[in-house]
Amino acid sequence: MSLPIYFPLGFSALLFGIGLWGALTRTNAVRILMFLEVMLNAVCLNLITFNRYFWSQTPEAASEATIASLFIMTVAAAEAAVGLAIILSLVRNRGTVEADKATMLKG
């Protein structure tokens, strides 16, 4: 590997940072969901990088991060499905997709 490990690690940190920034600043619920996916993806990239550089002696060890990413993607898909269903329900009930207008629990 001629690529230094700092490049993919720094890239995933930047990707996570931009995703965090977007998820905290934008109020559209669908967009917040998209930034959550981007942040999960950055975490996957981090796992794959560390596994590739430090834990790839045998094929079994080298596939550990792949399996972890597989589970992360499963959870991300389930989260996107349920989250979009909740957002659609919110749109039908309240006519808005703005997360800061969903204040039904505020009393």
Partner 1 sequence: MSLGILTSGESIAFFLLAAVALVSTYKMVTSRLITHAALFMALTFTSVAGVFLLLEAEFVAAIQILIYTGAITTMILFAIMMSGLSDIKAERKRGQLWVKSDPAIMVFGGVFAAFMCYIYYTAQLPAAAAAETLPTVKAIGTALFTKYVIPFEVASILLLIAMVGAIILTAKEAESE
List 76, 102, 103, 107, residue binding partner 1 (CB under 8 A): 76
Q: Which CB atom, from 22 or from 106, has the smaller least distance to partner 1? A: 22
The count of residues interacting with partner 1 (CB under 8 A) is 80
Compute the distance between CA of residue 31 and CA of residue 37 in angstroms, rounded to an integer. Answer: 10
List 92, 103, 105, 107, residue binding partner 1 (CB under 8 A): 92
97, 28 Cβ separation under 8 angstroms? yes
Residue 100 in the binding site for partner 1 (CB under 8 A): yes
- DSSP classification of residue 73: H
- Looking up tokens 């997360």 gives 99
Residue 54 in the binding site for partner 1 (CB under 8 A): yes
Residue 43 in the binding site for partner 1 (CB under 8 A): no
Lookup: tokens for 38: 């981007």
